[in-house]
Each structure stands twice: as structure tokens, then as C-alpha cells.
Chain A
Amino acid sequence: MGLTRQGVLIVLVVCVVGLLASGALSAPAWQPNRPVEWTVPAGTGGGADQQARLMAPLIEKYRLSPQPFIPVNRPAGAGAQAFLWMIDKTGDPHTILITLDSLFATPAAQVLRKRDGSRFTWRDLTPIARLLLDHFVLWVHAESPYRTLDDFVRAAKAGPPGRLKMAGTGSKQEDEIIMVLLEQAWGAKFTYVPFPGGGAVAAALVGKQVDFTVNNPIEAVGHWEAGRVRPLAIFASERVRVGRWAEIPTMRELGYPIEYQMLRGIFGPPQMPAEAVAFYQEVFRRVLDTPEMADFIERGAYTKAYLTGREYVQWLERKDALVRSLMERAGWLVR
């Protein structure tokens, strides 16, 4: 598949970037000798896309790779298209993937078959590194009567089932999983309204179309600064000790031990050579240390969580088990 949509433009980008990056880096064992195609399993403008498009130019700016990283969106089927694309790239050291939790949820909610007929799981891919953990915050409108989580819980329990409406991204994915966790913890029933992306979800809350969201911090921070939304609690194990985020109590503190964090990690295709894995691990470790990433991490209240090797795989196993058990409780698991 020589010709891609980018055609001429890629060549242009490559030329300019190649000039800038030439003569960089003391040679490690393996280096890319053509542009690295970086698959984003979601549409343009979403969280995963934003991160890839932020990190790609940073890799160039700090000359971390002799070849550019080019993000390509493959959004179909909540990640399905991107995951199977990676399977087709078996052994290719010039292809990587940035993930969100659809890596676990999509193959659990539908039977995703590879070309040989067997079912796809994340174990088919080569884990490279965990980069960040993205948090979830319970947001209500700033003019709503719910000043604390207790106010909100009382309203949730009191009203007729489904009176409180929540907007979330997609269906049977992390937002709706968290809502089901809340329903089960409080014995309440909410109405879930799916939207195509986190930006639209935040807008629905600001426009008072719905009563609450569990937007990621980066999606809602602008509206918070403008005083339009109010955070009630964060679904993290401990408070995020950065700036204003430290004000937000955890669900655990408030008596509801519900935690959920989303993986922002990097994977390669099946059977990616070990030297290539080592190269990407080094690139991403250094990207995370750039001042630009530090700003981004602070603004979006991310947890920097660089992890590789066996520990990363063990963490992935625990994460997968968690997502599957939550989906089973919600009745969405397809065996």
C-alpha cells in the first residue's frame, strides 16, 4: 500500500522535518529509516489525537528521532479499524499506536476477528510503554444546586429514575462504564445521552442540555476557568496535587471507593523487533520530560506514569480484568 492519502503533503512534511532533524542523535541499535506512522484509533480533535499531535512535533523539536512521527486517524468502529490495521502490520518497526481504553472495551463489547478468524485482544499487540493516566471528574453546571457530592447523591436517589441526564462519549465505553458504577453504588438510575466526542460532551453540560458529565480534566478545564462548570469529585486513588486540581476531593474520600483511570499508552504491531521497542521506549521517555509536556500534564491533570516491560504487561492484565468485570456487571460483555 504505497500511496496514502497524504501523498504529496507527507513528502513535503518529511523534507522539511528531515532537514531539521538531520544530524541528530547518537546512534542507538535501531533507528527508523522512514517516517513512523502513528495510528490514532479515534477521530481528529479527541484526547488521543490531541496527545499524538502534541507529541509528534515535540519529537522533532528535540530531535529524538531521525525520522518524523506522522499521526494518522483510523477512527472506525471505536478502535476496531485501527486494531486490525496493526495486525496487518505484523513485524513492521515503523508503525505504532496510541491507545485509550477502547483497546479493552471494544474487543470485549464485540467479537473482533482477525484475518485468520481468531478473536483480537490487546495481547496480540506489542506493548511499548505506558505514558500517562487520564483522570475522570464528575462535573455539574456552575449554576446547578449541587454544591457538593452529597447534594448530588441525594438528588440522584430522590428523583424518579432517569431524571438526571449524563452526557458521555460513545456508548459502552469508559464514560458509560463509570455511570454504571455510580448507579450501582448509589442505587440510582441515570439517563445516558451519547455524544461523538469529549468536546461535544462538555458543550452539552455548559449549554445545560444535561445535568452532569464525567469529562476528562483537559476537556473541561477551559469551562472551569470561565466559571461555567463545577467539579464535585475525581475518580482517582488520591488527589491530583497540581494547581487548582488539588481542591477536588476523591470519590474515595467522600465514601465511595470508585476509581477509574484511562490508559494513554503506546503499542507496536505483533512481533515488533526488540530493538525497535527499545528505540520507542527511549523516545517517549524523553518526550515526557520536555517542558511542553510538563505544561500539558499540569493543565490536563494527567498522572505521569511511564512504565515499560514486564510491569507494564502486568498492569495491562489488571486493567483488562477490571474493564471486563465492569462490562460484565453492566451486561455488555460478549464472550
Chain B
Amino acid sequence: MDLARTFQDLLYGLGVAASPPNLMVAVVGLLLGTAIGVLPGLGGTNGVALLLPLTFHLNPTAAIILLSSVYWGAIFGGAITSILFRIPGEPWSVATMFDGCPLAKQGKPGTALTAAFTSSFIGALVAIVLFTFFAPPLAEVALKFGPPENFAVLLLAFGTIAGLEGGDPVKALLMTFLGLLLATVGFDIVSGSPRMTFGSVSLQSGVNFIIIAIGLFGLGEILLSVEERLQIEGMRARLSFREVWETWKLFPRYVWTLLRSSLLGFWIGVLPGTGATPASFMSYGIARQFSRRGSRFGTGEVEGVIAPETAAHAAGIGALLPMVTLGIPGSPTAAVMLAGFFIWGLNPGPLLFQENREFVWGLIGSMYLGNVIGVLVVLTLVPAFAAIVRVPFAILAPLITILCSIGAYAVNNQVLDLWIMLGSGVAGYFFKKLGYPLAPLVVALVLGDMTEQAFRQSLIMGQGSPTIFFTRPIAAFFVVLAVLIFLLPFVRNLTRKVRGPAVPAEAPGAAGS
């Protein structure tokens, strides 16, 4: 690759993106996107789909800048409700909740929000640089990933998050199985028939994990708070920009986490058929295993916010790579953008890079500018968002309940989903009371569907033989890696015991729940 040429193109792209009309379009898109990200259920995909008809009146470059800015805004905004109310604004911000919400409850919502926005921005930046210099060759590698490779990567994801939240391993396993069971509900594309829908057409769309997550975490939390003390301990929250600065000072400590999460997230995003949500969970799980403070994850560790947010935004950028280079969508949002290409009179496909320089490099340029503007916008809003936590619980609780309901309904426009949300809210309350961890259920639910599909596609390709996972080198590599990572905690426990019981055997991991 000609480096000088790339720099020249990049400068050209930045120039296109920085022209006043394009800059204005980017700001509008970012604000809209942030609002869309804050509202649970109304995801970035829907936001982009709704704005698509409007882009007809713009030129293609302005149009893609608008839509991608909405996307970046939604990624930034998704973290806000996760951290403040335990309601995931977007699927990929579920993992942000695990440590973000405890931080907010400890009176540090500003720290959690700053960490989320800043790491999201860093993840984006690393991903954009990779995008700029290596887009076409990376797309070639991504094509080598078929169902067996995807399955192996998802297996790795399961490996990294096994034993999340600590506590009783039997209970965690039970919750994992419950999640996997729920994931099988719906229309099965492999057999072409509905499964476990009990005759309900509404259930054919499956049990949406965002609805379950809103119920389990958001509504469940309200029920617990009502019982416990009728207030969320947010009253002490400090609300100044000093907190932004204080949080930034923590960042150098997490260089490795940031770098690892960016690279991981970007690559998972590039692969068609995975996306930002598994990336965020994987990144959280890996950070938990590698961090010295791993056992404290889930109780309000800043690193537990940084890891998933970095990966989610990097994956969001990565998902656009196969769209631009090959005309293949890497995520549902990219699929909608791709539909826009026809409207704007562009031909998506491998020739786009050569035939539409202004468009491609304008998009890349706007990725840089859009994310810089985006992080500035959301950071200035940190004190305002954090102030929400100071609202008395008696006012906040009904508002959160309404937000949960709107979010659950908005996913599919189905009343049934409200009942599912309510049911999982009550279930979440009892699970929490009985010490059953919620994270394994949600993770199994979100990954279960993709994993099963990839597994069955692979077996069909291998004509029923599982050797296909070992005869293909990339798949074999990831399967072995997944098994090793799966065993890592056991090995660690073992070596600890062999070295002599300096601490009682039960002590590690007891910090959870």
C-alpha cells in the first residue's frame, strides 16, 4: 500500500468532512444519535432507517456523514441510561452496566460517564486509524471467516465470560442454561420453522435480549430499591468538570486494556455476523481475567466500564469496513446504510473505493471529525446527566418504569413484550434475592442465538462431522484458544492451592454479588 497516497487521500477526506455544510450535518446527526442512544429500544439501526428517506435531499457524502454520525451518537448515548439507571440504551451497553451502575450508586456517576465516553472515543480513534490504512486487506481476511470460524470466535467469547460475577458456580451455570434456553425461542432459520413459540406469532421474532435485560436489570433494580430504602444513593454525586479531569488522570493506568479492547472490538466488528454486542462482552470478560483487580469487577471498577465501551465503539467502526470495501453489511445498522447507497446513486461493492473517492474518503474523514465532536458534546453534558441521579427516588422510579416500558415496546411494537419485560423484572428481583447472577443469563441469551446458528451451519458444511472445527486452521486456532481460556481460572486456582494456602480457599471471587 502506498502510504503517501493514503495520507493524501486522508487529508482530502478531512477537507471534505470539514466543509461547513458537512460539519453541520455531522453535529445534527450526533445530537440526534445521542438522543436515540439514550432511549432504550430505539436503537441506532431504527434511527438510521428512519432518517434514510431524508438523506435523499442531500448529496451522497453529506448523507453518509449524517447517518454515520447518528450511529456514533447512538454508541456514545447508549452508555448513559446503562450507567445511571441500569437500563441498557443499546445492546452493546449491557456490559457497561456491570460496573458503571455500581459506580453511579457510589456517588460517582460523573466518573463512570467520563470513563465510558472517553474510552469509547479512544476505541473509535484506534479503529479509524486501522480503517484508514488497512481497510481493503482486512476485508480480505474477514472473508476467510465462515461459519466454523465465527463459531470458534463465539466459543472464545463464552470462554472469556465464563464465571462472570463470581459467586456460586452452580447458580451461574443454571442461569447460563436458562439464557441458552430462552435464545432458542423463535423462528429458526436453519429448519425454517418456529420453535417453542406455543402457537404465538409474536414469539416467532424470538425473546429479544434487550427486553429481558431492561426487565431484569432496570425494573428489577427499581423493585429492590423500593424494598430496601426508597432511594438511590446518588445524592452525594459531585457535579463538576473537575471530575472529568480526575477520571482522565486514571487513564494511563489502563493503556493495555484500552489497546487490547480496541483491537479486539475492531476485529470482531469487521467480521460479518458478530458485531458490537459480543465484542463488548468479550472485552469485559478478558479484562476481568487479565486485570489484577479482576475479582473486584462488578462492584464499580473503572476498568470494567472502559473495556466494554472501548470495544463497542471500535466494533461499530469495524462494522462499516466490509460495507465500504465489499458491499457486505457488518451489522444491522450497516445493512440499512447500504440500502441508502442505491438511493444516493452509488454502487456498493469492491469498486467503490476507486470510483467514489470523495464519498469513501469523506466518510473516513468524517469518522475522525465526527468522533472528536461527539466526545466533546457528550463530555460537556456529563454534569447534566449526572445531575439526574440527584432527583428524588419517588420521582425517578416511575420515570424509569415508564422508560423501561417504552423501550421494551419500541423494540418490536408488540404489547406481548411489555409482559415479558414485566415478568423478567419480577424474576430479576427474586434472582437477586436468592443470589442467582443475572449476567450469565443475558450473555447466554445474546450469544446463544448466533452461536447455535454458526454451529449448525458449520455442521451442515462438514456434513455432520465436528472435525470441520479442527481441519480449518483459523477455526482450530480459536477453538484451542477458547478451551485454554476456559481452563485458565481452574489452573490459577490450582497453582494458588499448590503454592500454599496463604488465604482460605473460599476467599477469591467472593467479592461479587
Residues of A in contact with B (beta carbons under 8 Å apart): 1, 3-7, 9-10, 13, 16-17, 20, 43-46, 49-50, 53-54, 56-58, 60-61, 68, 70-73, 75-78, 80-81, 84, 109-110, 112-113, 162, 165, 170-173, 176, 191-197, 199-200, 202-204, 206-210, 221-223, 225-226, 228, 292, 295-296, 299, 332
Chain B neighbourhood of A60, CB < 8 A:
53, 56
Query: B335 contacts A6, CB within 8 Å?
Result: no
| Known interface pairs A170-B189, A296-B342; A44-B53 also in contact (CB < 8 Å) | no
Indicate if the CB atoms of B339 and A171 lie closer than 8 Å: no
Q: How far apart are A18's CB and chain B's nearest CB, in angstroms?
A: 12
9 extra A-B contacts, CB within 8 A, seeds A57-B56, A77-B194, A225-B347: A5-B46, A5-B409, A44-B49, A45-B332, A71-B49, A76-B412, A176-B192, A202-B328, A206-B326
- With a cutoff of 8 Å between Cβ atoms, the chain B residues found around residue A226 in the complex are 349-351
Q: Quick one: which of B15-56 are within 8 Å of A by CB?
A: 36, 41-42, 45-47, 49-54, 56
List residues of chain A with CB within 8 A of the CB of B412. 76
Nearest Cβ on chain A to B275's Cβ, whole angstroms: 12
Q: Is the CB of A170 within 8 A of B336?
A: no
Residues of A contacting B410 with CB < 8 Å? 5, 7
Once the chains bind, are B50 and A45 in contact (CB under 8 Å)?
no
Supposing A225-B349, A226-B349 touch, asked if A57 and B53 sit within 8 A by C-beta, the answer is yes
Pick from B145, B187, B191: contact of A76, CB below 8 A: B187
Q: B146 contacts A204, CB within 8 Å?
A: yes
18 A-B residue pairings within 8 Å (CB atoms): A43-B332, A44-B332, A53-B339, A53-B340, A57-B343, A76-B186, A110-B193, A165-B461, A172-B192, A191-B460, A191-B463, A199-B327, A200-B328, A208-B143, A222-B327, A222-B347, A222-B349, A223-B326
Q: Are A44 and B339 in contact (CB under 8 A)?
A: yes
A77 pairs with B205, CB closer than 8 A: yes
| B124 proximity list for chain A (CB < 8 A) | none
Q: Is B505 in the interface zone, CB < 8 Å from A?
A: no
Chain B interface residue bracket vs A: 35 or more
CB–CB A109/B41 < 8 A: no
Inter-chain CA distance A222–B342, complex, in Å, is 12
Whether B308 is near chain A, meaning CB under 8 Å from some CB there, is no
B147: interface (CB < 8 Å): yes
Whether the Cβ atoms of A196 and B461 lie closer than 8 Å is no
Judge whether A80 and B187 touch: CB under 8 Å: yes
Q: How far is the CA of A191 from the CA of B460 in the complex (A)?
A: 7
Residues from chain B with Cβ under 8 Å of A80 in the complex: 187, 194, 201, 204
Rounded to whole Å, the gap between the CB of A4 and the closest CB of chain B is 6
Which one, B56, B189, B349, B351, contacts A196 given CB within 8 A?
Answer: B189
Contact with A along B181-209 (1 / 0, CB 8 A): 00000111111111000010110111000
- Knowing A53-B52, A193-B147, A292-B345, say if A4 contacts B413 (CB, 8 Å): yes
B411 touches A (CB below 8 Å): yes
- Also in contact, A225 and B350, with CB within 8 A (given A109-B193, A199-B335): yes
**A-B complex: 7 closest residue pairs judged by Cβ atoms:** A222-B349, A45-B335, A171-B192, A76-B205, A77-B204, A207-B143, A209-B146
Q: For the complex formed, measure the closest distance between the CB of B347 and the CB atoms of chain A, giving whole angstroms.
A: 6
B328's closest neighbor in chain A, by CB? Answer: A203
Q: Are B50 and A6 in contact (CB under 8 A)?
A: yes
> Shortest Cβ distance from A295 into chain B, in angstroms?
7
A204 nearest CB neighbor, chain B only? B146
Query: Within the assembled complex, what's the spacing in Å between the Cα atoms of A75 and B339?
Result: 16
Q: How far is the CA of A6 from the CA of B47 in the complex (A)?
A: 8
Q: Which residues of A contact B188 (CB under 8 A)?
A: 171
Report B-chain residues with C-beta under 8 Å of the C-beta of A43: 332, 335
A222 touching B45 by the CB < 8 A rule? no
Known: A6-B46, A68-B53, A81-B202. A54 touches B350 (CB 8 A): no
Q: Which residues of A contact B463 (CB under 8 A)?
A: 162, 191
Confirm or deny: B348 has a beta carbon within 8 angstroms of a beta carbon on chain A. Answer: yes
Instruction: Given A13-B53, A81-B205, A225-B351, verify A44-B413 contact (CB < 8 Å).
Output: no
Asked whether any CB of chain A lies closer than 8 Å to the CB of B338, the reply is yes
Can you name the residue of chain A whose Cβ is closest to the Cβ of B336?
A: A44
B146 touches A207 (CB 8 A): yes
Q: How far, in whole Å, are A129 and B187 apart by their CA atoms in the complex?
A: 29
Which of B193, B201, B322 gathers most chain A CB within 10 Å?
A: B201
Q: Which of A7, A171, A196 contacts B191 (CB 8 A)?
A: A171
Residue of B nearest to A46 (CB): B335
Cα of A204 to Cα of B145 in the assembled complex, Å: 9
- B145 x A207 contact (CB < 8 A): yes
Chain A residues with Cβ under 8 A from B191's Cβ?
Answer: 171
Distance in Å: Cβ of B413 to nearest Cβ of chain A: 6
Complex alpha-carbon distance, A10 and B53, angstroms: 11
The minimal Cβ–Cβ distance linking A68 to chain B, given in whole angstroms, is 7
- Enumerate chain A residues within 8 angstroms of B186, measured Cβ to Cβ: 76
B272 contacts across to A, CB distance below 8 A: 199-200, 203
Q: Does B329 sit at the interface, judged by CB under 8 A? A: yes
> Are A84 and B205 touching (Cβ within 8 A)?
no
CA–CA, A112 and B345, complex, Å: 39
Using known A-B contacts A4-B413, A299-B347, determine if residue A81 contacts B46 with beta carbons closer than 8 Å. no
- Interface bits B291-317 vs A (CB < 8 Å: 1, else 0): 000000000000000000000000000
Question: How far apart are the CA atoms of A7 and B347 in the complex, in Å?
Answer: 32
B457 touches A295 (CB 8 A): no
> Inside 8 A of B202's CB, which chain A residues have their CB?
76, 81
Residues on the A chain within 8 Å of B326, using CB: 203, 206, 222-223
Contacts A5-B46, A5-B413, A222-B347 given; does A13 touch B205 at CB 8 Å: no
Given contacts A5-B410, A9-B51, A53-B52, contact A199 B329 (CB under 8 A): yes
Task: Kindly report which residue of chain B lies nearest to residue A114, judged by CB atoms.
Answer: B201
> Chain B's nearest CB lies how many Å from the CB of A2?
11
Q: Which of B50, B145, B338 contacts A10, CB < 8 Å?
A: B50
The answer on a CB contact under 8 Å between A194 and B190 is: yes
Measured CA separation A71–B336 after assembly (Å): 12
Do B342 and A191 touch (CB < 8 A)? no
Give Cα A204 to B146, complex, Å.
Answer: 7
